[in-house]
Amino acid sequence: MKAIIWGSCGSLPSPASSSAIRQKVKNALWAARSEQFQSEKQVDDFLETLPHSTHGTYKANTSCVQIDAGTEDVILCDAGTGLRDYALTIPADAQPRTYHIFVSHLHWDHIQGFPFFSPAYVPENTIIFHGFHSSIESSIRKQMRAPYFPVPFEAMQASIEFDIQENGSNFDLNDVHIRTIKQEHPGDSWGYRFEHKNKSIVYSSDSEHGPESRNSDYPFIDFFNKADILIFDGQYTFEDANNSKRHWGHSDHITAVELAARAQVKQLVISHHEPSHGDLEIESLCAEAAAYRQEYNQQNTSKSKHAYPETITLAYDGLVIEA
Ligand SMILES: [Zn+2]
Ligand SMILES: [Zn+2]
């Protein structure tokens, strides 16, 4: 099973500006000033030695993650603008399919890609929204109404269904079992844990973890327990999450490490990046997270025990992570 990140930016799409791209090119050229490249492969190999912030960016599209469990049906989490980039990978002559979209909540950054989702305009396709907000259908329809969008929902010819469940419900899709949890976020949000053949991927976006997260019976410790991959909302700095942005519904990179360590998560993926943070700033938060991981494990793990999370990765659009 693998997770494919199609949208890692929180709140609104934030592609790199021309000046930011120019700075990246400048940094790369400067770093390469003493290299003698004989092939494009050597250039690619050299780029791999540079930080991701030099040759890429961490945030462009808003939330969308594909869970690839090898099923015929497609499994997606949220329908932010990353959904459109996913749709661009579908061949024009693709066989009709069923697309399942698990909705965390209805804030704009989690649904605004759907009007651009090309499979929704193909009559033979089926799209099923799964979630807990009774207003999923009306929200999806409303954002396509005039004057917000030129094409009405009714122009979508695929069969579009809405599977709305009560809090506490789980899902089964082919041989994938999906557990859920209600999260602290304005208007509520839900996290999803996908389990398949002894592997598990948790998608937990837009979720605040307040002081109660330090309790030993905090339910997220069980929900994240031994996950192979945890995709976590680390939008804020620890300082902001606990002070000026308390109750805004997001978490931070330090809390990400602490919960992942307690739950013995293997791969921690920090996502839903703050749009006002530059790529270097996001990398420095990740470096702080890595330092905290070491500090936390020195204090809480005896030498013989394994340290968690094994890896900390920053999400970016196009990242593929194997469980
Ligand atoms: Zn969001
Ligand atoms: Zn939100």
Output the CA 102–ligand 2 centroid distance in Å: 14
Q: Which of the ligands is closest to the CA of residue 185? A: 2
The span from the CA of 3 to the CA of 230, in Å, is 10
Res 51 pLDDT > 90: yes
Whether the ω angle into residue 119 lies within 30 degrees of 0, i.e. cis, is no
pLDDT for residue 200: 98
Q: Which of the ligands is closest to the CA of residue 12? A: 1
Output the CA 31–ligand 1 centroid distance in Å: 35
Output the CA 63–ligand 1 centroid distance in Å: 7
Q: What is the dihedral of CA 61, 64, 69, 72, to 10 degrees?
A: -100
Q: What phi and psi values does residue 239 have, to the nearest 5 degrees?
A: -60, -50
The span from the CA of 252 to the CA of 90, in Å, is 34
Output the CA 118–ligand 2 centroid distance in Å: 24
Q: Which CATH architecture has domain 2-15+55-322?
A: 4-Layer Sandwich (3.60)
Q: Which of the ligands is closest to the CA of residue 205? A: 1
Q: Which of the ligands is closest to the CA of residue 110? A: 1
Output the CA 299–ligand 1 centroid distance in Å: 33
Neighbours of ion ligand 1 (CB under 5 A): 10, 109, 206
Tell me whether strands 199-204 and 229-233 are parallel, antiparallel or unpaired: parallel
Output the CA 22–ligand 2 centroid distance in Å: 32
User: Using 50, 70 and 90 to split pLDDT, how confident is the model at 203?
Assistant: very high
pLDDT digits (tens, 9 = 90+) for 217-276: 999 999 999 999 999 999 999 999 999 999 999 999 999 999 999 999 999 999 999 999
Output the CA 36–ligand 1 centroid distance in Å: 44
Output the CA 45–ligand 1 centroid distance in Å: 34
User: Using 50, 70 and 90 to split pLDDT, how confident is the model at 300?
Assistant: confident
Q: Classify 160 as helix, strand or coil.
A: strand
Residue 128's H or E segment, with its range, is strand 126-131
> Mean of the pLDDT values across residues 187-213?
97
Q: Which of the ligands is closest to the CA of residue 61? A: 1
Output the CA 27–ligand 2 centroid distance in Å: 34
Q: Which of the ligands is closest to the CA of residue 8? A: 1
Q: Which residue has the tokens 């024009």?
A: 92
Res 303 pLDDT > 70: no
Q: Which of the ligands is closest to the CA of residue 272? A: 1
Output the CA 247–ligand 2 centroid distance in Å: 12
Output the CA 185–ligand 2 centroid distance in Å: 7
pLDDT digits (tens, 9 = 90+) for 53-74: 999 999 899 999 999 999 999 9
Domain boundaries defined on the chain: 2-15+55-322
- Helix runs in the chain, H state only: 18-31, 40-48, 52-55, 82-87, 136-142, 219-223, 238-242, 253-262, 279-300
Concatenate the DSSP letters of all residues of 199-226 into one string. Answer: EEEEEE-S-B--GGGGSTT-HHHHHTTT
pLDDT for residue 304: 62
Distances (CA, A) of 74 to 96, 192, 228: 11, 15, 20
Output the CA 296–ligand 1 centroid distance in Å: 28
